[in-house]
Chain A
Amino acid sequence: MKEREELLFRIIDLCESVSKRGVDPFDVQVREFFDRLDDILPKLKKYEDLYLDIQAVLGLADVVFQQGEWIKHKSSVLYLDPLLIMLKLHALQPQDLADVLAQSWHPIVEMEAISPHGIREAMEYWTELPPLGERWRGLETTEVLTGEVARRELARMGILSEEDFVAVLDKAWRELKAAAGEKEEIQYWDFIMEKSFEKTVIRAWLVSFLVSYGYATLELKPLEEEILLKPLPKPQRPEHALTFSVPISISREEWARRRKGD
């Protein structure tokens, strides 16, 4: 499994080095990589791996495009041996290099003028501009530094009890496993829904930690407009999988609408 992931990452990285770092596209063995992708495709089960596979295929397609562009450039009148050009750039003095530019240079002729409309706008701006003293007068505000809310502060606010945070997470994880049951998945809203809006928000907050700390995964189904929560048998931090943040809005209206739906 690790080997397959490594191969996918290696292909993606190689393709990126062609598009971003100017590596020769013909150094990439496109055919060979496609054959290997073809071999491993039936063995890819996880969505993360399939996503990597798509990225690798797109990357190789881009390499083929770059190869086409390279051939087009080589067959154009502008193509000259890059090595010869580099040698010349290295050998010539700045004066000679400047002379080369001057002999192939046709500077643009351009003029600047202000229109009557521009003059009118400038005049209005000038007459409405407050004196310098007024403009420099700062706003009377107190600067407050930003900071993190400590867990104790959360406890004081009644959001989190003095109970150990890990224990709270562990409890929420066990509840999630129980709620998911044999299906090993549950609708996000079904799990976080509580009798009061405040409790629902706290539960959603805990779920965000469960997912971030590797106790569970979130699966988004945009077409069905569903969010599935899947508890993991044991907490694990995703090392190779691509992770991203998912903002989920929990408004009082949404909560009330779903409560009525119950």
Chain B
Amino acid sequence: MTEEKLAELRQKLARATQLLFYRHHMEPGAKRWELKRALGRDYEQALKLFEDEISKLGLQLKLVREGEAESESDRFYITFKGRPSLTDARTFGWRIDDMAMLTVALAHILAKGGKAPLKEIERVLEEKFPRWRMESTIDRFIRRGYLSEDEEGLVYIGWRARAEVDQKTLLGLLLGKEEGEKSGEPKEEQTTKTQEDEKE
């Protein structure tokens, strides 16, 4: 490879880093057309090299399609290659309850074929969590893009959950999970429904 070609490649990698790591407007990542415009026609080759580089840091490039076929609006994100432990997740600012609520909401939506009425999800969550916590948490999930809601009150899997959560693994693990298995985490943070909550 000539010096000139190498310099061009380095420049493309730097541009890809800027586009993919830094948040532009509301969502992180970059759309296919943005990458194509910034990196040129051989953007896929540049992205492959970029992925090789970030893979050394335990990261990966994740493609989330807008539809079934390839589209210019498909979005690329950088995500963890591996999975955080439950303890790590709590250091990111997540509570055990929040994670449990997201699991219930996502699994419920997936079981219903990709969409479910909000009221139905709330009914399922209410069995385990106090209403005041559940409502604010669902709102936060919607704001952060884990869930999305339409005007009819139907809830869908949001863009962030499509990028971050391996849906097949989630359902598989859920079905194979036995109560108390492999958790072993302290439970002091939970605010599951108590008799007092039920009185309210």
Contact = CB atoms under 8 A, between A and B. Distances in A.
How many B residues touch the partner, as a band?
35 or more
The CB with the most chain B CB atoms within 10 A, among A20, A84, A108, is that of A108
A86 interface: yes
The CB with the most chain A CB atoms within 10 A, among B85, B114, B192, is that of B114
A97 B181 CA distance: 11
A159 B23 CA distance: 61
A100 B174 contact: yes
Nearest to A90: B127
Q: Is the interface of A mostly helix, strand, loop or mixed?
A: helix
Given A85-B175, A110-B22, A95 B164 contact: no
A3 B183 CA distance: 60
A93 to B, nearest CB: 6
A82 B112 contact: yes
A111 interface: yes
Interface in B64-101: 77-86, 89, 92, 96-97, 99-100
The CB with the most chain B CB atoms within 10 A, among A78, A80, A106, A111, is that of A106
A94 B133 CA distance: 14
Given A95-B96, A97-B100, A107 B113 contact: no
A108 B180 contact: no
A22 B103 contact: no
Interface residues of A, number: 40
A93 B92 contact: no
Interface stretch (B1-9, B34-42, B45-53, B115-123): B115-123
A98 B23 contact: no
B96 to A, nearest CB: 5
Interface string B1-36: 000000000000000000001110000110000000
A108 B96 contact: no
